[in-house]
Amino acid sequence: MEYVYAALLLHKLQKEVNEANISSVVKASGVAVNDAQVKALVAALADVNIEEAIKAVPVAVAAAAPAAAAGEAKKEAPVDTSKSEEAAMEGLSSLFG
């Protein structure tokens, strides 16, 4: 997972997502680098538009209501997240070909 995070960080900083850069980021985090995993990730991301993949993954954003911030409990109907979870997994799988 740290390799994917490294790739996302490099993308966010508008740096090239390549083996050397991913290895540098992972080393800087204090984790031993597995060259095979780095090569596999770079190969998997070769044909992926990371920006489009990020946009395709639905993100659940929970906004804190002022009442909740004041400590008042608020009852809400349960939300069916099965479809959004499936869509999120499809988006993540697109990162790996």
Q: Mean pLDDT, to the nearest integer, of 26-52?
A: 91
Task: Provide the token pair at 50.
Answer: 């990371």
The dotted CATH code for 2-94 is: 1.10.10.1410
Q: Please say if the pLDDT value at position 18 is more than 80.
A: yes
Matching residue, tokens 């770079």: 42
Amino acid at 27: K
Mean of the pLDDT values across residues 70-97?
60
With a CB cutoff of 8 Å and minimum separation 6, the contacts of 92 are 57
Min mean pLDDT across 8-22, 34-48, 57-71, 81-95 is at 57-71
